[in-house]
Structure 1
C-alpha cells in the first residue's frame, strides 16, 4: 500500500517593509512521504520570497515535471517557475524557455558542489538562484506544526520568521 501525503496548514502573515507588501496567506501543503520537514518549510519560505495571490504550490514531488511553486496569469500562462532543492540543470533550462521568470531555492550541504556542476545556470538571464544557509534550514524545522501560525517580518533585507514556538533569522545568499 502506498503512503499518502501529510497535509499541513499554515497561516502566513507577511510584513515586508522593503517591498511594501503586507498580506495574510492561508497555505495548504501536501508533504510527500519522501519529503523532509526542512523542505516543507523551505517551500513556505519560497512562497514568501515571491508572495502573490496567483502563486501556488504544485504537485511537485508527485509530478516530476512540475516545480515546487508556480504562478500563472489569468489566461493560464506561466509567469514564475520556482524550484526548491538542487534541480537538474536541464529541468531549469526547459523552465527558462517556457517561463519569463525562474527561481531556484537551493539548500543543504551539497549546494556548493551542485552550483559548480551546473555552471550554465549563471548564463540564463531569467533565472535567479538563492541559497538558504544551513543554520536557517535547521532552525526553521523547529517551527513546523500540522497547523502553523507564522509571521514573517522583512526589513532592510533582514528576514525573521516567527511562531508561538520561537523566532528564526532567515539568511539568504544570492548565488545569481
Structure 2
C-alpha cells in the first residue's frame, strides 16, 4: 500500500520591501512521503521569494516536482499557459536545468543542503551557457532552523529587505541570507 502525502497549511504574511510585494497568501502544501520537512519549508521560502505582486500575468503555483520529472516544485505560468518562471529546490542535474531553461523565461534554483558546495563545484562549469538561470544557496543551518518550525498549520510572517529574509512565528524569528551562486546574464 502506497503512503499518502501529509497536508500542511501555511498562512504567509509577506512584506517584501526589495520587490514591493505585500500581502497574505494561504498555501496548501503536500508533504510527499519521500520529502523532508526541510524541503517543504524551502518550497515555502521559494514561494515567498518569487510570488508576483499581482496576478495580471498569471500566478505562482505548486507543481508536481517530486512526482513528475517534467515539472518543477513551483511555476509561474502566464494566462496563455506559457512558463514565465520555473522554481526548484534542491540539487537538480545539468540536463534538468537545461530543459527547464529551454521551457521557461526564468529558472531559479534554491539549494539548501550542507552538500551544496560539492554539488555546485560539479555544476558551475556546466551552467555558464544558461543565461536565464539563477542559483541560490540557503545556508544549511538556516534551512534546518526553518525546518524546525514546520507544523501542520503555520502562521508565518516573512519580511524581506536588502536581500535578507526574516521568518517569524510564535516561537520567534529566523534570519535567512540567500547567497547567489550564479545569475546568468548578470
TM-score by length of 1: 0.96
Alignment-derived partner of residue 78 in structure 2? 73
Deviation at 1:142, TM superposition (A): 1.9
Stretches of structure 1 lacking an aligned partner (at least 5 in a row): none
Which of 135, 144, 148 matches 2:150?
Answer: 144
Find out whether 1:94 has 2:76 as its counterpart.
no
| Contact 1:143–1:166 (8 Å) recurs in 2 | no
Is 1:165–2:177 an aligned residue pair? Answer: no
1:149 positional shift: 0.4
**Paired residues of 2:16 and 2:161 also in contact (CA < 8 A):** yes
| Cα drift, residue 166 of structure 1 | 1.8
Q: Which residue of 1 aligns with 2:25?
A: 25
- Residue 129 of structure 1: aligned partner: 135
Which structure features the higher share of helix residues? 1
Does structure 1 residue 8 correspond to structure 2 residue 14? no
Does the CA contact (< 8 Å) of 1:5 and 1:31 recur in 2? yes
C-alpha contact (below 8 Å) 2:163/2:177 kept by paired residues? no
Check whether the contact 2:10–2:27 (CA below 8 A) recurs between aligned residues. yes
Contact 2:114 2:139 in 1 (8 A): no
Gaps spanning 5+ residues in structure 2: where? none
Give a deviation string over 1:152-174, Cα, whole Å, max 9, x none: 01122221001112211012010
**Residue-by-residue CA offset, 1:84-123 (whole Å, 9 max, x unaligned):** 1000110010111111101111111211111121122233
The whole-number CA distance in structure 2 between the counterparts of 1:114 and 1:22 is 34
